[in-house]
């Protein structure tokens, strides 16, 4: 049986988000939905690729769809018992498009494409003219897919998607039509790097999420309190952390032009972005923040955090930079010593202790991170 995508070139793979799912994760999904299966159930994967999600022995009605005809034909060969479709899952979304009636118990599984249609990194290869219904249109295909499941009025949803859809408030807010009607009831976090041939570069957390239709849905506070488990036995909740935007501005203020002597910093996003981006910069642009010098400490913190971010596990990749402020106040002198070895221009803005060696500074910063990250220390 062929389960690894082989008919698309790199560019088309990016455009379709066509990265097929390993069996281990498929099994997790079926384990989670099995308690909800009944005689009226239809299990649908509306972005099925070669049909990997149907490689599981269980008797129920199954439907598969993909926009890519060659993929659908491979699904047909792999799983002749599955009813297949070749539609755009995001256009004219309705149960009828998959011959599903209102009385059916609809369970949606799969691994929809996720690619930020506005992302800068891949703008050169990403050209997308897929039709998407206006009421489910977002800047990211994966989020539109979640909205399409709500539009199909699914009873149960168990899919893989980036954790960032839930934990980043801006994303969460774009999903209102979904989050108002569904509640996350179980989940496990996996590493994007475990997919074959995924985008080269920094791995990010993907959640295998089980959602149940719910009259009250969930609000962002529910997510902040939700304890996420990872596949390798760790767990965390957003409320475990104090985040750096509680102390400083993440984004540039509009219409502010720098004066001489201002210190500039690159816009902060999440930890993975920090790993890729610069921190202190010397040229002003639309992506630069003018630092409030009273808060320079915290920008220094972020810069040093970047240096030590290799200590963090992949599942923190989409969090904001976090901090233990009391502890930082105690360790600050070491942060100062470390930073001036890399950004000597900061010497004139801070008072640092010349007697602290760089060796001593690094050891103490490591200690800070050991305490900050606790059991997650890499
Ligand atoms: C991440 S792959 C997953 C494939 C399969 N579910 C698996 O996990 O092995 C995403 C699939 O979505 C399909 N796709 C992308 N946009 C689509 C759309 N608008 N409608 C239906 N399928 C789409 C791609 O062709 C690709 O096969």
pLDDT digit string, tens, across residues 190-227: 999 998 766 567 899 999 999 999 999 999 999 999 99
Ligand 1 centre to CA of 102 (Å) is 24
Same domain? For 219 and 331 the reply is no
Residues contacting 348, CB < 8 A, separation 6+: none
Number of residues written out for the chain: 378
Q: Whose CA is nearest to atom 17 of ligand 1?
A: 67
Report the CATH number that the domain containing residue 154 is assigned in CATH. Answer: 3.40.50.150
The answer as to whether 250 is a domain residue is yes
CA separation for the pair 176, 182 (Å, rounded):
10
CA 39, CA 97: separation in Å to the nearest integer? 21
Total domains in the chain come to 2
Residue 107 in any domain: the answer is yes
The answer to whether residue 55 sits within a structural domain is yes
Residues 83, 101 within the same domain:
yes
Q: Is residue 27 in some structural domain?
A: yes
- Neighbour count for residue 308 (Cβ, 10 Å): 16
Whether residues 219 and 293 share a domain: the answer is no
- Residue-by-residue DSSP string for 175-205: THHHHTTEEEEEEEEEEGGGSTT--SS---E
Q: In sequence order, what DSSP letters do the residues of 11-46 get, joined into one string?
A: HHHHHHT--PPPHHHHHHHHHHHGGG--TTEEEEET
Residues 219 and 259 in one domain: no
Among the candidates 219, 240, 261, a domain finishes at: 240
Give domain status of residue 4, yes or no. no
Atom of ligand 1 nearest to the CA of 3: 9
Give residue ranges with CB within 6 A of ligand 1. 16-21, 45, 47-49, 52-53, 65-68, 71, 88-90, 110-113, 130
Q: Whose CA is nearest to atom 26 of ligand 1?
A: 18
Q: What is the pLDDT of residues 294-351, one digit of tens each?
A: 999 999 999 999 999 999 999 999 999 999 999 999 999 999 999 999 999 999 999 9
Q: Which domain holds residue 363?
A: 244-376
Of 183, 217, 240, which residue constitutes the final position of a domain?
A: 240
Secondary structure of residue 160 in the 3-state scheme: strand
Cα angle: 174, vertex 125, 109; to 5 degrees? 45
Does residue 281 form part of some domain? yes
Q: In the listed set 198, 218, 240, which residue is the last one of a domain according to the structure?
A: 240
- Let me know whether 163 and 67 are in one domain: yes
CA distances from 187 to 33, 47, 230 (A): 12, 20, 9
Q: Are residues 312 and 209 in the same domain?
A: no
Q: Do the domain assignments include residue 1?
A: no
Residue 188 within a domain: yes
Q: What is the chain's pLDDT, residue by residue, as a tens digit (378 residues)?
A: 787 888 888 778 877 877 889 999 999 999 999 999 999 999 999 999 999 999 999 999 999 999 999 999 999 999 999 999 999 999 999 999 999 999 999 999 999 999 765 554 444 545 567 899 999 999 999 999 999 999 999 999 999 999 999 999 999 999 999 999 999 999 999 999 998 766 567 899 999 999 999 999 999 999 999 999 999 999 999 999 999 999 998 877 777 889 989 999 999 999 999 999 999 999 999 899 999 999 999 999 999 999 999 999 999 999 999 999 999 999 999 999 999 999 999 999 999 888 999 999 999 999 999 999 999 997
């Amino acid at each position: 049986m062929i389960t690894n995508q082989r008919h698309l070139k790199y560019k088309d793979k990016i455009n379709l988000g066509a990265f097929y799912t390993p069996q281990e994760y498929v099994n997790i999904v079926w384990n989670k939905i099995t308690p909800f299966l009944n005689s009226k159930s239809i299990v649908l994967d509306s972005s099925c690729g070669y049909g990997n999600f149907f490689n599981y022995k269980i008797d129920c009605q199954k439907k598969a769809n993909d926009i890519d005809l060659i993929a659908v034909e491979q699904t047909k060969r792999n799983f002749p018992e599955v009813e297949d479709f070749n539609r755009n899952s995001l256009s004219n979304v309705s149960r009828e498009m998959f011959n599903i009636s209102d009385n059916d118990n609809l369970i949606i599984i799969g691994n929809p494409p996720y690619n930020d249609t506005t992302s800068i990194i891949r703008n050169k290869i990403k050209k997308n003219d897929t039709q998407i219904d206006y009421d489910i249109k977002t800047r990211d295909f994966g989020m539109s897919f979640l909205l399409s499941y709500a539009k199909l009025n699914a009873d149960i949803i168990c899919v893989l998607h980036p954790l960032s859809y839930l934990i980043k408030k801006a994303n969460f807010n774009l999903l209102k039509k979904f989050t108002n009607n569904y509640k996350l009831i179980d989940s496990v976090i996996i590493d994007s790097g475990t997919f074959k041939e995924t985008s080269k570069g920094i791995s990010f957390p993907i959640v295998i999420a089980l959602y149940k239709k719910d009259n009250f849905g969930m609000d962002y506070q529910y997510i902040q309190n939700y304890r996420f488990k990872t596949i390798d036995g760790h767990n965390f909740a957003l409320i475990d952390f104090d985040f750096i935007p509680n102390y400083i501005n993440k984004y540039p203020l509009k219409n502010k032009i720098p004066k001489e002597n201002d210190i500039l910093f690159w816009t902060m996003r999440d930890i993975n972005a920090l790993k890729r981006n610069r921190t202190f910069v010397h040229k002003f642009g639309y992506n630069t923040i003018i630092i409030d010098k009273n808060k320079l400490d915290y920008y220094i913190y972020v810069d040093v955090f970047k240096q030590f971010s290799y200590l963090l596990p992949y599942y923190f990749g989409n969090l904001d930079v976090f901090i233990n402020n009391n502890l930082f106040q105690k360790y600050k002198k070491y942060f100062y010593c470390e930073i001036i070895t890399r950004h000597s221009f900061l010497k004139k803005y801070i008072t640092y202790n010349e007697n602290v060696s760089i060796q001593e500074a690094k050891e103490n910063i490591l200690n800070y991170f050991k305490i900050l990250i606790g059991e997650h220390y890499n």
